[in-house]
Structure 1
Amino acid sequence: MRIATRRVRQRSATGLSCLALLFTVVMPTMAHADCDPSDRNIANHVMTYSGQLGERNPLRLVLRPTSGGKLEGRYANASSQSDTQLTGKLESKSHLHLTEFDAGGMPRATFEGDFSSADNVNRQQGASSSCEVISGQWKDLRNGRSVPFELVLTSIQTGKIDHLYGVAGVNDDEAVNRAATQFRKGVLDDRRDVVAQSIRYPLHVSLRGKTIILRNPKSLLARYNEIFTDGFVRTIGAAVPRLMFARDQGVMLGDGAVWFDAAGRVIALNRS
């Protein structure tokens, strides 16, 4: 079962390939670009960005622009147990400043970055190149440590920033996050029993050009090595199981590799 992933995958793949090109070619002379949500139909929409914090830390960031250049947001990495809330603003239509706070309400770290020109980034309806790529530095205010980040816009959607999965019929986003985290950990730890119990059966999976039907955990375990190849495991490992993209058919982990239903059960495995 493949749930409307082709356009999402093409969009993300194009964006990420362009981001890689930006790293190697454009980065030394990167031009800043205007990003003015008030000029376009994205004010009060949720903008989701994916990329890297440092060299090996996958990151997802959601932003909700409001009037006057104010921003609210959340971010998470692959090992996060919860989302980190952010507040900030957009300065001069190109510079992004976001602050995260500790449990006592004191500033703990900042994201300082700029929206960068990316004329070759794939367009999606309602988006323009001026808001599609952010590059900058995350800084720990306690010890002064600074880490670079690079993010590319992956989706713009309506909804509340603290309830992203409502469109998929989810009542509790955190329940789906926990299920996605458990499934991902089960895959990475080779806990096949956990993976098998995370799936809603029957499940249709494409193998070598043919679609097979997995009717129960036993049938999954019999084909486990064929499905969860090293490459597919790496794909799942690189995904952040929080702040995921959602649509009416489900909640998507990573670039459409896995989809979950409203109860957090796996309903599709899309192997590239």
Structure 2
Amino acid sequence: MMKPLIRTVFLTTLLSPVLAVASCEDIGGSPSLQEYAGDIDGKYKIQLTLAFKGDSVSGEYFYLSQLKGIPLRAVSGDRNKLVLEERGANGEVTASFTGALSADCGKFDGTWQKTGSSSKLPYSLKHTESNSGSLGHRYYTAGAESDDIVYANAYKFWLGVKNGDKKAVTSVLAYPVRAQIAGKKTTFRNASQFSASYDAIFTPAYRQAVIDAVPRNMGSSWRGVMLGEQGEVWLNHLGKPFALNN
């Protein structure tokens, strides 16, 4: 069983998860990004972001099977009938979401339709958290200059853990790295030290927790970027892990 976050970090105030409850009153202010997760047609798991600025709405979503951001533009910003168009590389509309936000913005339900198809697939999304920033610069509060660099390193770490690739994992860490060995908080100064304790750190339970995390559209603050809903991994401004909450 995963240990509570408070028992697995050096500074609780530094590494506590930062989550927020959905609120329509927050939209247009700070935080400005509202995160949702769910599925299309009960089959295709997605995560979607709505960015509100005044009366304008934009967004982005991705399939968990692909982890590639797909931009969305609102045709209608009416919360009772929010229409978001998905556009291809040439600017053509390839699909659209048509749905409604609940009164507290906690749910976004409706139908997804591919352009040229008569089929409308239902989707159901629940609010997961609120973030500051913008779609193109999510992690500025963590000091990141490039979201793409954050994603590249977070994905390299995540994929390394998933594939059991010790070399890939140790090469992307931001030393010194903090973790826990047999209940003792430990600081690893280099790859050699970390490699020697790799199996003790990545227990089956912790390894699965990292695999279940999504290395995209992550929460962030001045503390860093949070991989995993419970802060299983904390990343720096380059997307490199500096604390493992195992």
Question: Which residue number corresponds to residue 62 of structure 1?
Answer: 49
Measured against aligned partners, the alpha-carbon deviations of 1:35-59 in whole angstroms (never above 9, x if no partner) come to 8x4xx24215422324232557553
- Residue 241 (str. 1) matches residue 226 (str. 2): no
> Does structure 2 conserve the Cα–Cα contact (< 8 Å) formed by 1:51 and 1:149?
no
Q: Which amino acid aligns with 1:262?
A: H
Unaligned runs of 5+ in 2: 1-8
Q: Which amino acid aligns with 1:64?
A: A
Question: Which residue number corresponds to residue 107 of structure 1?
Answer: 93
Report the alpha carbon displacement of residue 5 of structure 1 after superposing the two structures with TM: 4.7
- Residue 259 (str. 1) matches residue 241 (str. 2): no
**Aligned partner (choices 84, 100, 112) of residue 98 of structure 1:** 84
> Does structure 1 conserve the Cα–Cα contact (< 8 Å) formed by 2:35 and 2:130?
no
Question: Which residue number corresponds to residue 151 of structure 1?
Answer: 125
Unaligned runs of 5+ in 1: 16-34, 118-129
With the length of structure 1 as denominator, give the TM-score of the two structures. Answer: 0.73
> Does structure 2 conserve the Cα–Cα contact (< 8 Å) formed by 1:252 and 1:260?
yes
**Aligned partner (choices 42, 45, 51) of residue 27 of structure 2:** 42
> Does structure 2 conserve the Cα–Cα contact (< 8 Å) formed by 1:76 and 1:243?
no
Percent sequence identity over aligned pairs: 27
- Residue 8 (str. 1) matches residue 22 (str. 2): no
Q: In the aligned structure 1, how far is the partner of 2:34 from the partner of 2:111?
A: 18
Q: Which amino acid aligns with 2:189?
A: R
Say which SS state the counterpart of residue 75 (structure 1) adopts: strand
Report the alpha carbon displacement of residue 63 of structure 1 after superposing the two structures with TM: 1.3
Question: Which residue number corresponds to residue 26 of structure 1?
Answer: none
Say which SS state the counterpart of residue 184 (structure 1) adopts: helix
> Does structure 2 conserve the Cα–Cα contact (< 8 Å) formed by 1:96 and 1:115?
yes
Matches within 5 A, 1:114-263: 114-116=100-102, 130-143=104-117, 147-255=121-229, 256-263=231-238
Question: Which residue number corresponds to residue 59 of structure 2?
Answer: 73
Q: In the aligned structure 2, how far is the partner of 1:138 from the partner of 1:270?
A: 37
Number of aligned positions between the proteins: 232
Report the alpha carbon displacement of residue 219 of structure 1 after superposing the two structures with TM: 2.4
Q: Which amino acid aligns with 2:245?
A: N
> Does structure 2 conserve the Cα–Cα contact (< 8 Å) formed by 1:47 and 1:153?
no
Report the alpha carbon displacement of residue 196 of structure 1 after superposing the two structures with TM: 0.8
Q: Which moved more, 1:259-268 or 1:202-211?
A: 202-211
Task: Label 1:141 to 1:156 Cα distance change in 2 as closer, same or farther (>3 A).
Answer: same
Question: Which residue number corresponds to residue 5 of structure 2?
Answer: none
> Does structure 1 conserve the Cα–Cα contact (< 8 Å) formed by 2:177 and 2:188?
yes
Q: In the aligned structure 2, how far is the partner of 1:72 from the partner of 1:232?
A: 36
Say which SS state the counterpart of residue 8 (structure 1) adopts: coil
> Does structure 2 conserve the Cα–Cα contact (< 8 Å) formed by 1:76 and 1:240?
no
Q: In the aligned structure 1, how far is the partner of 2:209 from the partner of 2:94?
A: 31
With the length of structure 2 as denominator, give the TM-score of the two structures. Answer: 0.80
> Does structure 2 conserve the Cα–Cα contact (< 8 Å) formed by 1:75 and 1:243?
no
Q: In the aligned structure 1, how far is the partner of 2:137 from the partner of 2:73?
A: 17
> Does structure 1 conserve the Cα–Cα contact (< 8 Å) formed by 2:179 and 2:186?
yes
Structural RMSD (CA): 2.8
Task: Label 1:87 to 1:186 Cα distance change in 2 as closer, same or farther (>3 A).
Answer: same
Task: Label 1:218 to 1:3 Cα distance change in 2 as closer, same or farther (>3 A).
Answer: farther
Question: Which residue number corresponds to residue 71 of structure 2?
Answer: 85
Q: Which amino acid aligns with 1:8?
A: V
